[in-house]
Amino acid sequence: MNSGLLDLDSIETWHSDFEELLYDREIWPKVKTKLDSSEMQGIGFLSQVTCADDYLMDDLAQSLRQKGRESLFKRYSYVIGYHGCRLRDPESYQKFGILPSSTEHQISVARSLFQEIPGFNKALVDIEASYLNHNEGKVGLLFSAVRAKYNRSPYVRGSELIRGLAYRLGVTAKARFAGTGKRTLIKCAIPVNWLDDHTTFSAIGAYSNHVLDHLIRIRRWPHDNFIGFDGGYMLTRAIPPESILEFIDMTNFSDDDP
């Protein structure tokens, strides 16, 4: 039976299937043996649980990952993702949702902010190409607001293109960029099938792998603090307004510099 929504930051949303998979009487001793064989090999096994498919070599990790992915598909319709922005007008997101990044729009905003600052045109030429290749037509999402707060993530500081220009152009440009809105994470419910069908790489395994990784850690090292999960992914479609759940103020969880 499908149980709804998986939030990596809320352990109470993690289905018992994951614990039953790992803590099975036959499976957990095998996991523990790999963790205890040596400190380096233990770390190596955990990295196998979360690594990219191209680097996967351990048979036990491969089996756990596959079964974890199957459990996620079986138990959930949605996962939580966090989109970073500088929030000025929540109503625009509530009306239109989160639209894929448009380099043309970002440049228009940048011109309105920085056009008359010396060096703008050269800085734009230098930065635009890399932004276009990486971000055009995509919506970036983080796995974890807890980790974003812990790391004081730069992702919550707004457009990479405009922020990059502000850094190049100096104090005046930084101040103008800082005034464009409040550092924010937008919490969104993302349909599970989008993680395969509408991403630049399949992200569904990353969700289940992170759950498995943390369940291993809390059983083996129960005194470790929970600091969320690093990383994220790119959607290749807009997030509709009804998928927006919350605006999280990140003003106190990011460095002062824009």
* SS3 (DSSP) at 37: coil
Dist CA 10 CA 110 (whole Å): 37
For residue 188, give the nearest of 130, 113, 241, 148 by alpha carbon: 241
Does the pLDDT of residue 1 top 60, yes or no? Answer: no
CA distances, 150 to each of 12, 191, 225 (Å): 20, 26, 11
The pLDDT assigned to 3 comes to: 60
Higher pLDDT, residue 149 or 202: 149
Does the pLDDT of residue 74 top 80, yes or no? Answer: yes
Dist CA 147 CA 143 (whole Å): 8
Does the pLDDT of residue 136 top 90, yes or no? Answer: no
- Report whether 141 contacts 190 (CB < 8 A): yes
* Distance, CA of 65 to chain centre: 19
> In the structure, what pLDDT confidence band is assigned to residue 127 with cuts at 50, 70 and 90?
confident
Which of 37-41, 130-134, 167-171 has the largest mean confidence? 167-171
List, for residues 100-111, the tens digit of each pLDDT value.
Answer: 999 899 999 999
Dist CA 37 CA 171 (whole Å): 53
Does the pLDDT of residue 2 top 60, yes or no? Answer: no
Q: What is the DSSP letter of 51?
A: S
The pLDDT assigned to 258 comes to: 65
Strands 244-249 and 182-191 come out as antiparallel
List, for residues 208-258, the tens digit of each pLDDT value.
Answer: 999 999 999 999 988 888 999 999 999 999 999 999 999 999 998 876 666
For residue 79, give the nearest of 155, 137, 15, 174 by alpha carbon: 15
The pLDDT assigned to 37 comes to: 77
Does the pLDDT of residue 92 top 90, yes or no? Answer: yes
